[in-house]
Amino acid sequence: MLDIATMRHDLKDAFDLDPNPSLAEEMSDRYAAMSRVVNPVDWAMHAPYVAAIDKLKKERGAVILAHNYMTPEIYHGVADFVGDSLQLAIKATEVDADIIVQAGVHFMAETSKILNPSKTVLIPDMAAGCSLADSVKPEGIAQMRAQYPGAPVVTYVNTTAEEKAASDICCTSSNAAAIVRAMESDTVIMTPDQYLAQNVAQLVPEKNVVWWEGSCIVHEQYTAQDINEFREWNPGTKIIAHPECPPSVVEASDFSGSTSGIIKYVTDNKPEKAMLVTECSMASNIADALPEVDFVGPCNMCPYMKKITLEKILWSLYTKSEEVHVDPEVGSKARVAVERMIDLSKKLGI
Ligand code: 13P
Ligand code: SF4
């Protein structure tokens, strides 16, 4: 368990982490990618951490894989690779570094470990969990299998290794509909996100999609009424929702896609005003690359993703902690489900 006081004390002894405006100026190229959303005073505070992380990454032979929900100083400052869950899983199969630092939540680090059992996978804070991943246990999957005999279980990657091991194939928000469509059976069980499953059911009407009733604390909060009221109040805004939102929210929106799908939609269409119905860092991370887009409207913070900070990434590299372990037997079963997804996605060109 991370002891914040010890971490701060030891980091202070080992590194010069005082705000440093001249170092910030030296790294102005990196700042340029976040200057619309991070003020110069904060960048001068982040710069010593970024420099120390750069140095340790080289010394340790480590790479940082960061999810699209990381804050801009992580996303643009220290990440070697950024992406959605599918892209991060694929990248984890390609990196040849000995150490992977996962700037994201625990299930993402576990997926990297499942795909790389011999590598060291670190997560900067073990407490970076996920309400969705916590919502189903292998017994729940067994219960669904008993209710729908013979139906394949398609499990969202937002689950623990045990649930993946109990499933036939995984999916992410960017490939869920295609994976379900590719299943041979007429009935397909989706776990654990009821809303992703309901959104997929609309896209794949030829299948009888049944689901586990889990949900994400970030996306379940939005309602169609919020979207409609916002549209009335700020006409002309393109509203873009993650498929973990309830179907009524997705229906009321202009587009729905994975975190990378959302980035692509906004980048390709450059709407004058955009509301991203998802986690707050999404808009921050693309704001500088899209100066013509005004990001408006509310967003919700994921308290788990926000547990990952520059300070904890530095500590993680410095102490080689906290290491993610997966039971080898569970890991090899889970790997089958994740690799099936990756192979099928590549075959389908996703
Ligand atoms: P993506 O696969 O779209 O990046 O989603 C991950 C996630 O946790 C969304 O809540
Ligand atoms: Fe889990 Fe939701 Fe946070 Fe994604 S946004 S990590 S699904 S709690």
Q: For ligand 1, is residue 125 a contact (CB within 6 Å)? A: no
User: CA–CA separation, 251 vs 29, rounded Å?
Assistant: 40
pLDDT in tens, 126-151: 999 999 999 999 999 999 999 999 99
Select from 264, 280, 225 the least CA-distant residue to 248: 225
CB of 345 within 6 A of ligand 1: the answer is no
CA–centroid distance, 262 to ligand 1, in Å, is 11
Please state, as a whole number, how many other Cβ atoms lie within 10 Å of the Cβ of residue 60: 17
Closest residue (by CA) to atom 6 of ligand 1? 85
* Alpha carbon nearest to ligand 2 atom 7, residue: 216
Phi, psi of 316 (to 5 degrees): -60, -45
Q: Is the CB of 199 under 6 A from ligand 1?
A: no
Distance CA 319, CA 339 (A): 31
Q: Tell whether the model's pLDDT for residue 1 goes beyond 90.
A: no
CB 285 within 8 A of CB 30: no
Q: Enter the pTM of the model.
A: 0.96
Tokens of 39: 């003020």
In the predicted model, is pLDDT for residue 57 greater than 90? yes
> Ligand 1 center to residue 15 CA distance, Å?
34
* pLDDT band at 300; cut points 50, 70, 90: very high
Who's near 178: CB < 8 A, 6+ residues apart? Answer: 344, 345, 348, 350
pLDDT band at 262 (very low <50, low <70, confident <90, very high): very high
pLDDT of residue 103: 98
